[in-house]
Copies of this chain bind each other. A is one copy, B any other.
Amino acid sequence: MLAIGEFSRMTHLSIRTLRRYHEAGLLEPEQVDASSGYRYYTVEQIPTAQVIHRLRELDVPLPDVRRILRSPDPDQRAALVAQHLGRLEAELARTRAAVGSLRRLLVPEPPPLEVELRAEPAATVAAVADDVDADDVIGWYAGAMAELDAVLGPTAEGPPGGLYDNALFERGRGRMVVYRPAVDPPTRGRVQPVTVPAVELVVTTHRGEHDDVDVTYGELGAWVARNALTVAGPVRERYLVGPRDTDDPDAWRTEIGWPVFRVGPRPDGGRLGR
């Protein structure tokens, strides 16, 4: 039996960390003295401790480490690990995107901003809607669009789009609507007919990678502010050319539209009604 200090030396996990892992149910000492509370480990627990160490180096959250350790089936275990390696891949992609975007930001070649004020008519579309956390936007969008495609089939009546509740940006959670235009929109699964209301829309087009889209948002917002307008409802995006159309990011075009009121009333505080 090994006291916690000896076990610490053998595994290169600090004593404090071992105690935390005990508390979290990750690595239970083989025996705990009932009266003194002393933790005693065995040499057979060393490999487990090392696996935990590696997983933590990969920033796998403690509950997930526990799941991995407790899954008896090696295949299932491998799948859980692979899932986290996928997460690392995604994180790397995010980092790469931020680096690229930062570079573009620091070497600004200000493109002429073309803004249009347009009266957008109401339209009934096939949509998927839900309350979403800001971090889940990407994943939720992918799922919702896939479901739309599955229900509507490949023949499109026009580019897909989305409505984004301002609370999504201001408070990190809000209503999200993803839609595709359709004649006589069906009701199936999460897909429902939704009527996008008529509105006065300030519109511009974002070119290229979506990572930079907030820059265009900023420019559009500045334009709105300078023209003494005020936001009146969820922001709209329309994906004129996107990854579903071409693999060349430079060719992508996203139409961004802000509903506005002249000066006056903000009937719903800029939020998306239900």
Contact = CB atoms under 8 A, between A and B. Distances in A.
A93 to B, nearest CB: 12
Interface stretch (A28-36, A187-195, A210-218, A245-253): A210-218
Interface string A27-57: 0000000000000000100110111011101
Interface string A219-243: 1111001100001000100000000
A50 B218 CA distance: 8
As for how many copies of this chain the complex holds, the number is 2
A156 interface: no
A9 B215 contact: no
B169 A14 contact: yes
A15 interface: yes
A124 interface: no
A170 interface: yes
B11 A214 contact: yes
A14 B170 contact: yes
Contacts of A8: 169-170
Given A98-B58, A170-B14, A172-B14, A221 B105 contact: no
Given A43-B221, A214-B53, A222-B43, A231 B12 contact: no
A172 B102 CA distance: 35
A95 B166 CA distance: 36
A91 to B, nearest CB: 9
A6 interface: yes
A105 B217 contact: no
Given A14-B170, A50-B105, 17 more contacts: A6-B225, A9-B170, A9-B270, A12-B214, A12-B217, A14-B172, A15-B171, A43-B221, A46-B221, A47-B108, A50-B214, A50-B218, A51-B102, A55-B102, A58-B98, A78-B106, A81-B106
The 3 closest A-B pairs by CB, nearest first: A10-B221, A43-B222, A57-B98
19 contacts: A5-B170, A6-B221, A8-B170, A9-B170, A9-B231, A10-B220, A10-B222, A14-B172, A46-B218, A46-B222, A47-B105, A54-B98, A54-B101, A54-B102, A54-B105, A55-B102, A57-B98, A58-B98, A85-B99
Interface of A: 2, 5-6, 8-16, 43, 46-47, 49-51, 53-55, 57-58, 78, 81, 85, 88, 92, 94-95, 98-99, 101-102, 105-106, 108, 134, 166, 169-172, 214-215, 217-222, 225-226, 231, 235, 270
